[in-house]
Structure 1
Amino acid sequence: MKQRNEKEFEPNASVLNHNAYKIGCDYYNKGRYKNAVKAFNESLEYWPEDPEAWLALGNCYDKLNSPVKAEECFRKSLIFAPFNNRNDALFNLGNSLFDQEKFVEAIEYYAKVSAQSSVYSAAQLNMELARDGDSSKKS
C-alpha cells in the first residue's frame, strides 16, 4: 500500500499544491530548472496524483539532460492524466525514450499522439527519425 505523507492532508493542500506549481513554472520560464524541480516536487507533496506537476517535473529533467528521470515523470503523468489530456505526456515520453536511444518504444508513444494535438506533426517527424535511428534532427 502506498504510504501517504502528512502534507496531503493539509486543509489547504490544493492551494499549496497550486502555489508551488506556479512557483515552479516561474523558475522554469526563467531557465532555473533545478529550482523548478524543487518547487514541482513540493507541489507533488501536496497532491501526488497531479498530472500537470509530473509533466512539468519531467520537462525540467529533460532540460537538465536527465532523460531517465524525465521518463519516470512522464510515465507518472500518464497514469494520472485524463484520457483527453495525454498528448504532451505521450510526446515528451517518446522524446525521453528517443534520447535514451530506445527507438522502438519511442515510436510506440509517438504513434499514440492524437492527430488533433498541437504536437502531432512533431511526433510524426520524431517517429520517422526514430525509425532511422537519427537523433540529430529531433523536435
Structure 2
Amino acid sequence: RKIVFVISDGREEGSEAGYSDVLKVLLTNDVSVYALAVDAAAIPGYRTLGSIHIPLFGYGNILGKYVSATGGESFAEFTRDSIESAYARVTEQARNQYTLGYTTRETAASDYRSIEVKVHRPSLEVHAKDGYYPLPPQR
C-alpha cells in the first residue's frame, strides 16, 4: 500500500484532472491520501466555509474527499511540533497496517465497488477506503 502525504490548504484551484479521474487512479493503485491542513485550512470552521462554492473562486476542500475515499487521515496543525507529530503518526500507521482481501461473486467490470470494514473490538480504530475499482482481468 502506498501513501501520499499532502501539505496544503486543500482547495481546488482549476486542476485539469477531475475529482473522479484522480480518485480512480488513487484507488486502482491502492494509494491512501494523508493530508496536513496548513494556513487558514487549519482554523476551525474553515472547512465549513470552504465547502461553499463561489463562482470564479474554485471549489472548497476537495482534499478531504480524497482522504475519506482512500482511507487516509487529515490533520489540522499550526505549530512545528504538532506538524512533526502528525507526520510521525502517518509513518507509524504506514508501518502498522493490515491488508484485507476477499473474493467477490461480481463479474469483472470497471465499475466502482463500495466496501465497509467493521471490527468487533471497540478499542480499535479503522481507517479504510470507501471502495475500489477492480483491476482489469489478466490475460
Q: Is this a same-fold pair by TM over 0.5?
A: no
The structure where helix makes up a greater share of residues is: 1
| TM-score when normalising by structure 2 | 0.23
Q: Between the two structures, name the one with larger relative contact order (CA 8 Å, sep ≥ 6).
A: 2
The structure where strand makes up a greater share of residues is: 2
Structure with larger Rg? 2
